Structure 1
């Protein structure tokens, strides 16, 4: 009879411990936020953001956007930004992934970043890098990474970039190499 009592108490303790463990996993200590999953996901989305004057600041398209509830950041899969210049022509900016911090102050693009100037604004310009930070409130872009800029007959490579989409101005910051091939 004693063995049965000890066995029953042992099984009861094991059941309580496993129940408590399951309950703790379902109710984390950080304010009830489950850190492993986003609190919302958008798929095949298009977002048009307006500035303070009600004009289009940018359009964001992509297959998936996820919001992290812990730090309120947005993770973007293969985002595409259409950024209008002051004439209403669009720069096309793409990347493999992007991140928007909680304050929405900028957008960090990573992996195979490609920015293409508006087709109506010659000369056609293509900017390629691995990382690009976009300040869409001021239509500026910057990076400290390696950059390649191509235009018809011209290839420039350097480290670091500052770009002003409104004024169609792009500057490489250091280690600049240029190759010019005259067009015939």
Structure 2
């Protein structure tokens, strides 16, 4: 008789354990379903973003853009940006990835960042390269807390931290600055 009671107790224990495991499996699947997903995604696209005044803030092409579930920020894979400059010219920017804040007030370029300016009157371009740079399209400025290299013709500036006013064409490296100036041949 003890054998039957033991077998019954064991059967009930196994059944209860089965129910618990089944319930846990359902919770795990529900957790996966409620994980943060993108609100929408664009693949292999080109777009133009406009500012509040109706002028073009920037152009963008990329193989993948995903909008966060909060509907406010964007994550972009290998972006190619075009930022307008005076006289119909433009700045080109690229990176491994980018993050765009709500209303595109800030664009963070991440990994192998390169920004190339339009030709100057003397036929030279200004180029910024870094691991991370933030672009503020409305304010026409860029900034970075990390190491940045600024090249113009044959001159090269390197430093940690950057503040640049693109409209005024003023660049400020904040610390540990080194420079190599090579006069251009005429």
Identify the TM-score tier after normalising by the shorter chain: 0.7 to 0.9
Distance change in 2, residues 1:59/1:71 (3 Å): closer
Superposed CA deviations along residues 140-173 of structure 1, whole A, max 9, x for unmatched, are 1101211111122211122221222333332323
Aligned residues: 181
Closer, same or farther: CA 3–70 of 1 in aligned 2, 3 Å: farther
Q: 2:14 aligns with which of 11, 14, 18?
A: 11
CA distance in 2, matches of 1:156, 1:163: 13
Query: How far apart in 2 are the matches of 1:134 and 1:65?
Result: 18
Structure 1: 5+ residue stretches without partners: none
The 1:88–1:169 alpha-carbon spacing in structure 2 relative to 1, beyond 3 Å, is farther
Which stretch has the larger CA shift, 172-181 or 126-135?
A: 172-181
Tell me the equivalent position of 2:177: 176
The equivalences for 1:15-164 within 5 A come to 15-28=18-31, 33-35=34-36, 37-69=37-69, 73-102=73-102, 104-119=104-119, 122-164=123-165
Partners of 1:66 and 1:126 lie apart in 2 by: 28
CA distance in 2 between partners of 1:147 and 1:118 (Å): 19
**Partners in 1 of 2:48 and 2:65 — Cα distance?**
14
- SS for the counterpart of 1:23 is helix
Cα gap change, 1:73 to 1:5, in 2 (>3 Å): farther
8 Å contact from structure 2 (residues 65, 74) kept in 1: yes
The Cα RMSD (Å) is 2.6
TM-score by length of 1: 0.82
Residue 71 of structure 1: CA displacement?
8.9
User: Which has the larger share of helix?
Assistant: 2
Which blocks of at least 5 consecutive residues in structure 2 are unaligned? none
Identify if the C-alpha distance between structure 1 residues 130 and 166 changes in structure 2 by more than 3 Å, giving closer, same or farther. Answer: same
Q: Whose radius of gyration is greater, 1 or 2? A: 2
User: 1:33·1:69 contact (CA, 8 Å) conserved in 2?
Assistant: no
Residues 150 and 120 (structure 1 numbering): CA distance in 2 closer, same or farther, change over 3 Å? Answer: closer
